[in-house]
Amino acid sequence: MKRVLSMLMVAFFVLGFVGCATSPHATAVKIYLQQNNKPKLLKEAKAWVETEPQNPKAYMWLALAYAINSDYIEASKTFQKAFQMDSTLRDPQRIAQVYKIAGGTAFNVDGILTTLRNAAVQSAKQGDLEQALSFLDTGIWLKPEEPKLYLLKASLLRKKGDKAYIEVLRAGVQKAPDDPDLNYHLGVALKDEGRYDEAIPYLQKAAELKPEDSRVPFQLGVVYFEKEDYAKAVEQFRKALAIDSTNTDAWLNLGITALKTEDYATAVEAFQHYTALSPEEAQGYYFLAISLLNLKDEQKDQHLQDALKAIQKAIELDPENPDYYNIAGMVYKQMGDTKKSLEMFKKAQELERKQ
């Protein structure tokens, strides 16, 4: 009886040992990873998958080998294969267990997300947007609160001309409501679609979350301008400029808004800053000339001289624009130079007929 029991124990031990046996390729993979031998790491990982094609862990290690060899697309495809075989691998703790090595962790969920993002960018550059979107969807499945995934997916969809990018950004905001970039881009997307009232709360949230970003009040200013709420538009453009006084778009839009409200002094200030920052942009001198032309104070003669210099600079930069000659004609007319005024108006008519 004792002999029978001892034989059963030996058999149990042998079966248990075999059942827990580790593939020699699995051991080699970890050794070559520690040695940073990238070619042999990839070779052994492929061999592991070939010998254990139903083992999702083997695919996880093969994906890691591809990633270490900078083949992000193959790495991402292999991660997808592993997740199809075992969906529980989306759990960060499970991932850490798979990649446990020498008391540490060789890879984690953030590493996988970086790999998927890199693969999406590479796929998009190669013109395969569907594959790129597939990789990003896998990333969102793994970590649905990661803002960068939604931002990149929305960018690719917008490039594709798919209006679904707005809903992707909205989904991102729902998962990460305090991310300033998601709120900002959703607000801008809604603004671009003319959905101004919907855009305002997201842009306001972005302004609260990222008060140092001049783009946010600038976009709010554009929204209020489109809503014809010019006082709020001016307020927002001023906020943008308080953050970044070199924001040329904010100076330009502040000036145009001031022209709308006939605040010519503010318009002059704005266009003077704009032309100083963008000296090769003809439109700045054109708007500056209009603003100076409409200033009504005791320095009228000086304003006319400055307006003439501004519009002459605009013509120098863009001599085929008839609008510039019309403004020049108006300046000369107010200066009392009828001959030059008529020359400018005639030139404007010639250009209009030609165009």
What pLDDT digit, counting tens, does each position of 78-108 carry?
Answer: 999 999 999 999 999 999 999 998 778 999 9
Considering only residues 259 and 19, tell me which one the structure prediction assigns the higher pLDDT.
259
**Chain-centre distance for alpha carbon 78:** 27
pLDDT of residue 22: 63
Supply the mean pLDDT for the chain: 92
Please, what are the domains in the chain? 24-143 (1.25.40.10)
Residue 337 has pLDDT above 70, yes or no: yes
On whether the CB atoms of residues 306 and 274 are closer than 8 A, the answer is no
pLDDT in the model for residue 296: 84
- With a cut of 60, say whether residue 6 has pLDDT above it: no
User: pLDDT: is 270 or 1 the higher one?
Assistant: 270
- What's residue 15's pLDDT? 32
Q: Residues 12-26: what's their mean pLDDT?
A: 50
* CA proximity to 133, closest of 107, 166, 158, 108: 158
C-alpha–C-alpha distance, residues 14 and 208, integer Å: 65
Per-residue tokens: 338: 């009828």
In 3-state terms the chain splits into helix, strand, coil percentages (rounded to 5) of 80, 0, 20
Residue type, 349: Q
197-201-206 Cα angle (round to 5): 135
Token duo for residue 39: 């070619």
d(CA 39, CA 63): 14
Task: State mean pLDDT over 279-297.
Answer: 95
Distance of CA 150 to the CA centre of its chain: 10
- Does the pLDDT at position 355 exceed 70? yes
Q: What is the mean pLDDT of residues 1-24?
A: 39
Can you read off the two tokens belonging to residue 70?
A: 């900078």
pLDDT at 103: 74
Q: How far apart are CA 338 and CA 343, in angstroms?
A: 9
Q: Identify the burial level of 230 via C-beta atoms within 10 angstroms of its C-beta, where 0-12 means exposed, 13-18 middle and 19 or more buried.
A: middle
pLDDT band at 139 (very low <50, low <70, confident <90, very high): very high
Residue 104 phi, psi dihedral angles, 5° rounding: -125, -165
d(CA 171, CA 193): 18
Length of the chain: 355
What are the b/e assignments for 107-138, b being 16+ CB within 10 Å? bebebbbebbbbbbbbbbeeeebebbbbbbeb
Query: Which pLDDT score is estimated for 104?
Result: 87
Share of the chain above pLDDT 90, in %: 90
Structure tokens at 333: 């007319």
DSSP, collapsed to helix, strand or coil, labels residue 295 as coil
At residue 174, does pLDDT exceed 50? yes
- Mapped onto helix, strand or coil, the DSSP state of residue 319 is coil
Region 329-335: mean pLDDT is 96
Closest Cα partner for 274 from 294, 295, 289?
289
Cβ–Cβ < 8 Å for 352, 322 = yes
Is residue 40 within 8 Å of 69, Cβ to Cβ? Answer: no
pLDDT at 208: 98
Q: pLDDT tens for residues 180-239?
A: 999 999 999 999 999 999 999 999 999 999 999 999 999 999 999 999 999 999 999 999
**Residue 322: what pLDDT?**
97
Q: Strands of 55-148 (E only): list them.
A: 100-101, 104-105
